[in-house]
Amino acid sequence: MASIRDFISNFNGGTRRNRFRVTANWPSAMSGDGYNTTYHVTSASMPPSYLGNVTIPYRGREANYAGDRIYEPWDLIIIDDNRGNVLWESFHAWHKIINEHMTNTHSFNNDSFVNAKTNWTVEHLGLDGNTLKTITMVGCWPMQVSPIQFNMAQNVYNSFGARISYDYFRIANTSQ
């Protein structure tokens, strides 16, 4: 039977929700001042994925098999900058590359949507600041950019949300 001392010595302090870093890359079509900037994400998650279920009837019973992998969109909340909404406008400029508001056309080089996609990473950090694991999301692009909400009754940082679509992710465990 394990003792409380065994539990404490094997626990190693656990991980914390507020220890993470998100690194984003803007598409090459958005090069220039304002787009290659850093920003602060207040809320994110490791991206979800699910295995579908394929049910095959067999002799009055159902046999279940793993189906296609489904990657759900990834949501994050970004602190609005104090430079004239550069970040919020940058996400909308990315949208414009994918689908221009007025003309309903795109701005891809060589007519390829791949030029509008980038790779993003989420690093899970330990108590000492070292990276425990890294998730790289491949083929990211913003599906949705949320509005910036104003409220005179609240004295907090302004933020906006973004919903990111991606093709797949890779997991790298760097703690070992």
Is 112 within the bounds of a domain? yes
How many structural domains compose the chain?
1
176: confidence class by pLDDT, cuts 50, 70, 90: very low
Q: At residue 139, what are phi and psi to the nearest 5 degrees? A: 75, 45
pLDDT at 143 over 90: yes
- 46: buried, middle or exposed (CB in 10 Å: 19+, 13-18, 0-12)? middle
Query: What is the enclosing helix (H) or strand (E) of 96?
Result: helix 86-98
User: How confident is the model over 1-8, as a mean pLDDT?
Assistant: 74
Encoded tokens for 9? 């010595």
Output 154 or 1, whichever has higher pLDDT: 154
Whether residue 11 lies inside any domain: the answer is no
110 part of a folded domain:
yes
Q: Looking at residue 63, what is its pLDDT?
A: 92
CA distance 102 to 157: 32
118, part of any domain = yes
The answer as to whether 143 is a domain residue is yes
Q: Rounded distance, CA 103 to CA 32, Å? A: 24
Q: Which pLDDT band holds residue 39 (cuts at 50, 70, 90)?
A: low
pLDDT of 33 higher than 60? no
Q: The whole model's pTM is what? A: 0.76
By CB neighbour count within 10 A (0-12 exposed, 13-18 middle, 19+ buried), where does 43 fall?
A: middle
| Mean pLDDT score across all residues of the chain | 81
Domain with 116, as residue range(s), is: 16-173
The dihedral sign for the CA sequence 134, 24, 143, 28: negative
Establish if 2 belongs to a structural domain: no
Report the percent of the chain where pLDDT is more than 90.
20
Listed range (5-19, 87-101, 131-145) with the worst mean pLDDT: 5-19
Task: Find the CATH number of the domain harbouring 58.
Answer: 2.30.110.20
Residue 7 resides in a domain: no
Is residue 5 a part of any domain in this protein?
no
- Convert the pLDDT of each residue in 56-114 to its tens digit: 999 999 999 999 998 999 888 888 877 666 788 888 888 888 888 788 877 766 666 77
pLDDT digits (tens, 9 = 90+) for 153-173: 888 888 889 999 999 999 987
Quote the tokens at residue 12: 């190693």
Strand spans (E) along 44-89: 49-58, 61-71, 74-79
